[in-house]
Structure 1
Amino acid sequence: MTPPKLLPLLGAPSHPGGRSAMTCRYRCGDACAQPVPNESGNEYFADVVARSVSRRAVVRSGAATAAVGAISWGVAAPVAATPGRGGGRGSDRSRGPGRIKPPSDFEAIAPAPAATDELIVPTGFEWAPLISWGDPVTKGAPAFDFDNQTPEAQRGQAGYNADFAALLIDGRGRGGQGSQGRRGVLVFNNEYTNDELMFRGVTGSADLTDTQLEIVQAAHGMTIVDVRRQRPGTPWEYNRRGRRNRRLHAHTEFALDGPAAGNAALRTSADRSGRTVLGTLNNCAGGVTPWGTVLSGEENFNQYFDATDAPDPDKRLARYGITSAGRGWERVDRRFKVAEEPNEVNRFGWVVEVDPDDPSSTPVKHTAMGRFKHEGANVRLADDGRAVAYMGDDERFDYIYKFVSKRRHRPGNRRHNMKLLSEGDLYVAKFNGDGAADGDYDGTGEWLPLVVDGRSHVPGWPVADVLIWTRQAADLVGPTKMDRPEDVEPNPVNGRVYAALTNNTSRKPGQQDEANPRTPNKHGHVLELTERRNDAAAVSFTWKIVLLAGDPGDPSTFFNGYDKSEVSPISCPDNVAFDKQGNLWISTDGQPGTLGNCDALYMMPLEGPEKGRLQQFLSVPVGAECCGPWITADERTVLIAVQHPGEVSGASPENPVSRFPYLGDGQPRPGVVQVHRR
């Protein structure tokens, strides 16, 4: 067996949630070093959890905890030093002659130590890069040249640090269902940049030249490319001359729509209408609508704005974490200086909708869906045909939201359906524990109204104010403070909704509740919501925790009741996805600092005899986060976005920690990776 390739870690992770100091700086502007933005007095329901977490965990785990020292990983896959194959023993489970095994049919790999500079896949699978930072996308864009970057080139090249990725196969059922076709379109977010790894001689944003700042702005946003393959089952490649190829960046024109569009708080000196915005920033997770458009969430937008000398009498800036000196963007673009352009910051923090089929279309920011640090948005249809979107606000002690459209979905009428998210009702979630000593964390919940039927349900707050300052409006109605709610997605097979709560090391004893039971919550957990009658438009639900992440030897962990001697360790769940069998796929963000392992992708069945048997599918390289994931509709490809490879404190272009995707140029390049059965 080939040993894993280990490179020296230059700086140990210093973030309490498991990230390196470099990641903290560029991902979220050192958010955890700042005061918690939510200072509301909403209760923590500590009275229903007087019993200890550890006692309830013992009730669950029984003898399985004693057996944890004998965890069986199967055979670890040998490491592929270049894009290639997994190499251990594969599963021999047959699905019949001529049947394609689904990606869930694999043998788990072992965790990789955090210094491993390899992408490891299961036995019987192989991987290859699909597109990487700097690859030319639009007509006339040059090939990537690390030492000769320009703003003009980057506006036509793939952006940096892909997070969400979706591949929609052309053909019948494009609204996320796909076909067995040979062509499609790939859409992925470009969340943020790492200035120290993009340019030589840079130790922080203050070192950037004006030209480099413009390159950084161009590397944010979204990338859309045509893709093709020779036949079903063969690898995808992106088409450099594709009709739909497009880059959205910090200076692309976006339209604001919905009830708050045109409001005085959205008007600036450059846009006195309050309806046109330049750019989209810090695009994190996303989703694909039933009508085939892509949604993208603007998350840590606050860090790009210089709040120096900006008055904040109502604490509206502080509630959104807009308290820093920014990333230097105001040097080349004065709209990022809050004291000079106070409303520009209100034009970010929205859900963006993009039509990937029409490269001439104007992307839209939907004010009806509220403004906060959107991890993403995912849509399913209610029983009456209304579109329902689920959203998480990725912040310590912030909330989970739901939007219900006013109008109903019309199959085949794309023009009508693309207006569904422009008007509707907005809710925020309250979780109530059942208080029973039954060994489970579960209970009931309700969607508290913020805006319904065009009327505000927040006393004294006009509708536009609720939508622009949604965090403060939600504080007033009493929702449950959550442990960094990130991806929230409906399962298309069982109809339930799953929310990844990444972690919250700021939660102290006495602040726990049954939906967020650990103090501090270093490893995170996953919630399952079942809405009344399984109807997405319902305003009440039941819930339970299906995963309390961590080392299975920790008695506070829980894997939906499965024997913990047979599961993989996992920490910091971030993005989720589902395959056609309804299995839950989970990617992670932060394991190097919590478990000492590289971040990874996992699969956990939600039904049947293997319910809760979480198994590790792949491992990403040193310093990288595993993003996505996306299982194509034909179940022949698993996509992940390998974000910030080599992002370890002290790394630089002269001393890289990772060389992913191993293209021979010596520098790490984040991008989208495809995994196929060999």
Structure 2
Amino acid sequence: MGDDDDFEYIYRFVTRDPWNPNDRAANKDLLDHGTLSVAKFESDGTMRWIPLIAGEGPLSAEAGFKSQADVVLATRAAADLVGATPMDGPEGFIAHLGTGKLYVAMTENEDRLPKVEGGDEKEMVNIANPRSPNPHGHLLELAAPGGPEKPDYAADSFKWDVFILCGDPAKPEDQAMFHPATTSAGWFTDPDNLAVDPAGRLWVTTDGPPPEGITDSVYVMDTEGPGRALPKLFYIAPVGSEACSPTFTPDGSSVFLSIQHPGELRMADNEDATSMEDAGTDWPDFKPGMPARPSLVVLSRVNNDVVGS
């Protein structure tokens, strides 16, 4: 789970009881019992899950954690106390069942500071959030022990690496890190929602505000092989909107996308629209008097070919 704000954290909840696909009643209280943990990234390429349990370590009654309810209600404070790694707006989080790896999107953090002596440790760059500021965001790749055959997502530690540093590869100041063959239409900023399609490719939707002249869009790329981290532009969202939550048919021939808040921005200056009249679009109806409306769209390939290929 990602807490999508500057300097917040990545969490995990492991249930006490296993999910039973044959007993719905047994699954109804799975979230009532288990262990909430927060991520700490180390410079040796490991990421540790630190349990957030009232009464253990610094989460004492004197610190305000008299019960587990206090941990749930003040989770950010608990994560601060155990020394978790503050992140750059973590949001999208997806497991790649073909490789056993996890991908996490850091949307952005323009308030990240360089590392300086005597500075606020939480706000300075760290190994997993290496840029200051970070207006473009990045993607992390986490590898659970057990490999693709039997990944152990409940393990105490994972391996981790930076998968992509977003930004314009043509601008050295962006410090972008994509596949060398990434085109001028393929790079992106502000990664948000993630998905893995039936073919095993990673899909990324963005949530700006993006650089001038670029709108929020949907990208697709391989995570392994020669096309690893080589994004390709798939879909451009309507003006002022973001495309969210890609979901696929089992054969991969169609993708469903949620289109949020179309027309939110004005065309003239890319600022927030204040009325229907100055909204950037009246999508999807394009009729006088009809406002722009959030919608669910489905995109399919002709002859049922695989989308994004």
Q: TM-score, normalised by structure 1?
A: 0.39
| Matching residue of 1:669 | 293
| Matching residue of 2:306 | none
1:553 matched to 2:154? no
Q: Give the counterpart letter for 2:192 in structure 1.
A: D
2:198 to 580, 583, 587: 580
Deviation of 1:487 after TM superposition, in Å, equals: 1.3
| Matching residue of 2:60 | 459
SS of 1:532's partner is coil
Give the Cα–Cα distance (whole angstroms) in 1 for the partners of residues 78 and 103 of structure 2. Answer: 25
Give the Cα–Cα distance (whole angstroms) in 2 for the partners of residues 547 and 631 of structure 1. Answer: 24
Deviation of 1:469 after TM superposition, in Å, equals: 1.1
Q: Which structure: larger Rg?
A: 1
> Structure 2 vs 1, CA of residues 494 and 567 (structure 1 numbering), >3 Å: closer, same or farther?
farther
C-alpha contact 2:259 2:296 (8 A) present in aligned 1: yes
Give the Cα–Cα distance (whole angstroms) in 2 for the partners of residues 552 and 523 of structure 1. Answer: 12
Q: Give the counterpart letter for 1:672 in structure 2.
A: L
Deviation of 1:663 after TM superposition, in Å, equals: 5.0
C-alpha contact 1:551 1:595 (8 A) present in aligned 2: no
1:474 matched to 2:91? no
C-alpha contact 1:651 1:657 (8 A) present in aligned 2: no
Give the Cα–Cα distance (whole angstroms) in 2 for the partners of residues 642 and 658 of structure 1. Answer: 13
SS of 1:392's partner is coil
1:485 matched to 2:90? yes
Deviation of 1:418 after TM superposition, in Å, equals: 2.4
| Matching residue of 1:541 | 158
> Structure 2 vs 1, CA of residues 423 and 620 (structure 1 numbering), >3 Å: closer, same or farther?
same
2:101 to 496, 499, 505: 496
Give the Cα–Cα distance (whole angstroms) in 2 for the partners of residues 566 and 609 of structure 1. Answer: 19
Deviation of 1:644 after TM superposition, in Å, equals: 1.0
Deviation of 1:634 after TM superposition, in Å, equals: 3.0
Larger relative helix fraction: 1
> Structure 2 vs 1, CA of residues 675 and 479 (structure 1 numbering), >3 Å: closer, same or farther?
same
> Structure 2 vs 1, CA of residues 494 and 455 (structure 1 numbering), >3 Å: closer, same or farther?
farther
Structure 2: 5+ residue stretches without partners: 116-123, 266-271, 303-309
Question: Where does 1:184-263 land on structure 2 (aligned, <5 Å)?
Answer: none
1:424 matched to 2:34? yes
C-alpha contact 2:9 2:85 (8 A) present in aligned 1: yes
| Matching residue of 1:262 | none
1:508 matched to 2:113? yes
Deviation of 1:431 after TM superposition, in Å, equals: 0.4
Give the Cα–Cα distance (whole angstroms) in 2 for the partners of residues 418 and 591 of structure 1. Answer: 39
Deviation of 1:632 after TM superposition, in Å, equals: 2.5
SS of 1:407's partner is coil
Give the Cα–Cα distance (whole angstroms) in 1 for the partners of residues 200 and 184 of structure 2. Answer: 21
| Matching residue of 2:281 | 658
1:569 matched to 2:170? no
Deviation of 1:414 after TM superposition, in Å, equals: 1.4
Q: Percent identity?
A: 42
> Structure 2 vs 1, CA of residues 499 and 595 (structure 1 numbering), >3 Å: closer, same or farther?
farther
1:645 to 254, 262, 275: 262
C-alpha contact 1:428 1:449 (8 A) present in aligned 2: yes
Q: Give the counterpart letter for 1:448 in structure 2.
A: I
Q: How big is each residue's C-alpha offset from its partner over 1:360-410, in whole Å with a ceiling of 9 and x where there is no partner?
A: xxxxxxxxxxxxxxxxxxxxxxxxxxxxxxx00011000000000000122
Deviation of 1:553 after TM superposition, in Å, equals: 1.1
C-alpha contact 1:562 1:610 (8 A) present in aligned 2: no
2:134 to 521, 524, 529: 521
> Structure 2 vs 1, CA of residues 567 and 646 (structure 1 numbering), >3 Å: closer, same or farther?
closer
Q: How big is each residue's C-alpha offset from its partner over 1:15-72, in whole Å with a ceiling of 9 and x where there is no partner?
A: xxxxxxxxxxxxxxxxxxxxxxxxxxxxxxxxxxxxxxxxxxxxxxxxxxxxxxxxxx
Q: Give the counterpart letter for 2:9 in structure 1.
A: Y
Deviation of 1:664 after TM superposition, in Å, equals: 2.5
| Matching residue of 1:336 | none
Q: How big is each residue's C-alpha offset from its partner over 1:619-668, in whole Å with a ceiling of 9 and x where there is no partner?
A: 01111112112122232221111111111224412333201113535321
1:404 to 14, 19, 33: 14
C-alpha contact 1:562 1:612 (8 A) present in aligned 2: no
Give the Cα–Cα distance (whole angstroms) in 1 for the partners of residues 185 and 291 of structure 2. Answer: 35
SS of 1:408's partner is coil
Q: Which deviates the most, 597-606 or 464-473?
A: 464-473
Q: Give the counterpart letter for 2:60 in structure 1.
A: P
C-alpha contact 1:600 1:617 (8 A) present in aligned 2: yes
Q: How big is each residue's C-alpha offset from its partner over 1:113-136, in whole Å with a ceiling of 9 and x where there is no partner?
A: xxxxxxxxxxxxxxxxxxxxxxxx
Deviation of 1:615 after TM superposition, in Å, equals: 0.4
Give the Cα–Cα distance (whole angstroms) in 1 for the partners of residues 165 and 129 of structure 2. Answer: 10
C-alpha contact 1:566 1:613 (8 A) present in aligned 2: no
Give the Cα–Cα distance (whole angstroms) in 2 for the partners of residues 485 and 429 of structure 1. Answer: 11
Larger RCO of the pair (alpha carbons < 8 Å, separation 6+): 1
C-alpha contact 1:562 1:611 (8 A) present in aligned 2: no
Give the Cα–Cα distance (whole angstroms) in 2 for the partners of residues 591 and 655 of structure 1. Answer: 18
Give the Cα–Cα distance (whole angstroms) in 2 for the partners of residues 542 and 640 of structure 1. Answer: 31
Question: Where does 1:95-134 land on structure 2 (aligned, <5 Å)?
Answer: none
Question: Where does 1:290-439 land on structure 2 (aligned, <5 Å)?
Answer: 391-434=1-44
Deviation of 1:554 after TM superposition, in Å, equals: 2.7
Q: Give the counterpart letter for 1:622 in structure 2.
A: V
Deviation of 1:581 after TM superposition, in Å, equals: 2.1
What number of residue pairs does the alignment pair up?
276
Q: Give the counterpart letter for 2:247 in structure 1.
A: W
Q: How big is each residue's C-alpha offset from its partner over 1:298-346, in whole Å with a ceiling of 9 and x where there is no partner?
A: xxxxxxxxxxxxxxxxxxxxxxxxxxxxxxxxxxxxxxxxxxxxxxxxx
Give the Cα–Cα distance (whole angstroms) in 2 for the partners of residues 432 and 407 of structure 1. Answer: 30
Q: Give the counterpart letter for 1:459 in structure 2.
A: S
C-alpha contact 1:404 1:425 (8 A) present in aligned 2: yes
- Cα RMSD, aligned residues only: 1.8
Give the Cα–Cα distance (whole angstroms) in 1 for the partners of residues 221 and 185 of structure 2. Answer: 9
Structure 1: 5+ residue stretches without partners: 1-390, 435-442
C-alpha contact 1:502 1:523 (8 A) present in aligned 2: yes
C-alpha contact 2:199 2:252 (8 A) present in aligned 1: no
Give the Cα–Cα distance (whole angstroms) in 2 for the partners of residues 566 and 613 of structure 1. Answer: 12
Q: TM-score, normalised by structure 2?
A: 0.84
> Structure 2 vs 1, CA of residues 514 and 527 (structure 1 numbering), >3 Å: closer, same or farther?
same
C-alpha contact 1:493 1:580 (8 A) present in aligned 2: no
| Matching residue of 1:604 | 221
C-alpha contact 2:103 2:139 (8 A) present in aligned 1: yes
Deviation of 1:566 after TM superposition, in Å, equals: 7.5
